[in-house]
Amino acid sequence: MHDSLTLTLSGQSSVLESHYFPPIELDANKNYVLGLIELLTFNSIPNIETGCNRLYLENNKVISIQPGSYEIDDIENCIKTALSSESIEFSLKPNNNTLRSTLFCSRGIDFRPKDSIGRLLGFTSRVLEAGKEHISDLPVAILKVNALRVECNITSGAFINNQRVHTIHEFFPAVPPGFKIIEVPSNVIYLPVNIMGIVYGNSISSSNLYKSRARWHQSISRERPLEVTVTSPPPAQAPPPVITQRMQHPHQALSRQNIQFLKNLGLRPSGESPV
C-alpha cells in the first residue's frame, strides 16, 4: 500500500501514458487525491500553418512562411528576409493598445486568396494599395489558445461549463515562442482519484485496473520534450473521536442558562456533584 506517491511522465507527444507493473494498489478505505507539481516543455504552439502562410504581392510575387510559432516581429523579419534581394519596402508593426497591426508595403498586397496570411494579421479579404500605411480591420489572430490545460484521466471533480473533465491545472505560457515552459503551480489543486489502482495493461476489466495518463488539452509539444510530474499526498485520516469525552462531561456542552433551567426543574446535569 502506498500513502504518498510522486509520478513523472515524459515523452515527445502531447499525450503521455505510462503503464505500471506490478500494479500500484490503493487502500479502498482511504481517499486519495492528485495534483500537478511541475510541467516542463517548450512553447512551440504553431500559429502559422500550411493553408494560411502565404503573402501575395502584385506582379505575382508570393512569399511562403514556414509553419511554426511566430510573434508579429518574427513575421516581419521573415518577410523582410525574403524581400532582401528586391527593392521592396515592407513594415509590419503591432499596436498593443488596439490589438491590431499596421502594415506598409511599397508594392500592393492581395489578401483575397484562401491561404493568405491576412486573417492572422487581422485583415479581411481585400487588396491593399501600394505605398500606403494600412491598419488591420480586426484584432490580430496570432494567439490560437487562451489557456493550456493539463488533464489526468484518473481524477474527477473538475468541470468546464457543465461538462465533466479531468483538468488538474491550467495556465497560459509566460514565455515567448521557442522558449522553455517551466510551470510550477504556486498553489497545487488536488482532485479526488477515482480508481483503486494503477496497473500495467491495455484492457480495463474492473474498477481497480487502470492506466495513468496525463495529456494536454491542446496539442502543443510538436514532438518536443514534455515532462509532467504529479503527486498524491498522504490520504486524509478521519479526525479522532471526541464523543467519549463529551459523554463524560455533557454539562460542558451546556450553557449556564441551560444548566440553571435544568436545576429549576429539579434535575441535575450528568457529571455534576450533588450539593
pTM, 2 dp: 0.64
Q: Which residue has the higher pLDDT, 177 or 38?
A: 38
Grid cell in block for residue 184 = 510550477
As a whole number of angstroms, the distance between CA 32 and CA 9 comes to 19
Of all residues in the chain, what percent carry a pLDDT higher than 90? 34
- pLDDT score, position 264: 61
CA distance 242 to 219: 52
Q: What is the CA radius of gyration of the chain?
A: 31
Chain mean pLDDT for the chain:
77
For residues 55 and 105, what is the distance between their CA atoms, to the nearest angstrom?
Answer: 12
Compute the distance between CA of residue 275 and CA of residue 136 in angstroms, rounded to an integer: 92
In whole angstroms, give the CA distance from residue 248 to residue 114.
82
Supply the pLDDT for residue 227: 63
> Is the preceding omega at residue 22 within 30 degrees of 0, hence cis?
yes
**Least confident range of 90-104, 151-165, 237-251:** 237-251
φ and ψ at 81, to 5 degrees?
A: -65, -40
Rounded-to-integer distance, Cα 260 and Cα 69, Å: 78
- 19: three-class secondary structure by DSSP: coil
Q: What percent of the chain has pLDDT over 70?
A: 70
pLDDT of residue 270: 55
Q: Round to the nearest angstrom and report the end-to-end CA distance of the chain.
A: 56
Pairing of strands 100-105, 133-135: antiparallel
- Looking at residue 153, the DSSP 8-state letter turns out to be T
User: What is the structure's pLDDT at 146?
Assistant: 82
